[in-house]
Amino acid sequence: MLRIAVQAKGRLNEQSIELLNEAGVAVSMENRKFLMRASDFPAEIILLRDDDIPQTVAIGAADIGIVGYNEVAEKGLEVNMLQKLGFGGCRISLAIPKSQTYTGLEFFKGKRVATSYPEILRKFFADNDIDAEIHTITGSVEIAPTAGLADAIFDIVSSGGTLVSNGLIEVEKVLFSEAVLIGNPALSEEKMALARQLMSRFESVRNGIGKKYLLLNIPASALDEAVKLLPAMRSPTVIPLANSEWCSLQTVVDEKNLWNLIESLKAIGAEGILVLSLDKIVM
Ligand code: ATP
Ligand code: MG
């Protein structure tokens, strides 16, 4: 049985549980417990604070875990990076009061910088030869300059709204992060096989995001032209219709460009166009 560490509550919890559910590792958050057995997959979910996930996986109290890459980088523990998961995107940036003039990294020399990510910042300053004072706080870092606790901050940014509302501007983007799957470096062959199975399921779920299944009828005379318009995993499926002057085409398309594609297909005679939602793509 594979033990999977997931954030108990917070920004990554919902999407982590949803990804697991989509991948057939079903757990219900309604009667949540610290440790939950999944149905239909030999796994149990352990719910933790995100700060504790890298260590739990590093010592093998959990076999794999879903956590922000920022936490993995900060803790610097020995875990295997198994997969990027494509959600929870953010960056950790240096920000200063907007009343200050930014002169480049030199600005930070001799300054006090408040952060919850002291190790990432220490390394960044060391790599850039900046001697600054790092002031570690766990609470609301963004208020530190106003509160007179620091000259600048090093904190997580996603939209930047929090910075603006605290009179700060982002001046250096230091680390880009998203949710990642990490694994204990000494997993048994059996557990590694289960982890691999999950990774391939996660990939299938991700492949289906932003994709639609398109079905349409097209006059046989316009078939070549239609095939040229349609991307496909190999090539579109063509099915003859009872009326030999027509055929049916089926393929997977990107949602992004869907309407333009539909207009182009209509222009060459396509009819009966169906757009179906798509759950997973198993390669
Ligand atoms: P916990 O109680 O588990 O310690 P937390 O308060 O430390 O939770 P959250 O705010 O829930 O953490 O964020 C979890 C992760 O979500 C972050 O470590 C980061 O990887 C990611 N994230 C994405 N966008 C943001 C954002 N705007 N602010 C904070 N974290 C974000
Ligand atoms: Mg935390």
Structure tokens at 18: 């949803």
The strand pair at 112-115 and 133-136 is best described as parallel
| Segment 183-192, tens digit of pLDDT | 999 999 999 9
CA distance 57 to 37: 18
pLDDT at 32: 83
Q: Give the mean pLDDT of 227-235.
A: 83
- 14 touches ligand 1 (CB under 6 Å): no
Q: Which of the four pLDDT bands, split at 50, 70 and 90, describes residue 109?
A: very high
pLDDT at 29: 78
| Segment 27-75, tens digit of pLDDT | 887 878 899 999 889 999 999 999 999 999 999 999 999 999 999 999 9
Measured in Å, residue 193 CA sits from the centre of ligand 2 at 30
Structure tokens at 122: 């220490």
Q: Indicate left, alpha or beta for 20 from its phi (over 0: left) and psi (-120 to 50: alpha).
A: alpha
Residue 181 has pLDDT above 90, yes or no: yes
| Segment 110-151, tens digit of pLDDT | 999 999 999 999 999 999 999 999 999 998 999 999 999 999
- 93 touches ligand 1 (CB under 6 Å): no
- For the ranges 49-63, 147-161, 204-218, 222-236, the lowest mean pLDDT is seen at 222-236
Residue 283 has pLDDT above 90, yes or no: no
The full length of the chain comes to: 283
Long-range contacts of 20-28 (CB under 8 A, 24+ apart): 20/45, 22/201, 22/205, 22/279, 22/280, 23/198, 23/201, 23/202, 23/204, 23/205, 24/201, 25/198
Residue 259 has pLDDT above 80, yes or no: yes
pLDDT at 95: 98
CA-nearest residue, atom 23 of ligand 1: 88
Measured in Å, residue 68 CA sits from the centre of ligand 1 at 7
Residue 235 has pLDDT above 90, yes or no: no
The strand pair at 112-115 and 152-157 is best described as parallel
Rg (the chain; Cα; Å): 25
- 71 touches ligand 1 (CB under 6 Å): yes
pLDDT at 63: 98
pLDDT at 233: 74
Residue 232 has pLDDT above 80, yes or no: no
| Amino acid code (one letter) for 249 | L
Beta-carbon contacts of 135 under 8 Å, excluding residues fewer than 6 positions away, are: 112, 113, 114, 115, 144, 149, 150
- What DSSP designation does 134 have? E
On whether the pTM is more than 0.85, the answer is yes
Q: Reduced to 3 states, what is the DSSP secondary structure of residue 35?
A: strand
Measured in Å, residue 163 CA sits from the centre of ligand 2 at 19
Q: Reduced to 3 states, what is the DSSP secondary structure of residue 91?
A: strand
Name the percent of the chain lying above pLDDT 90: 91
Ligand nearest to the CA of 9: 1
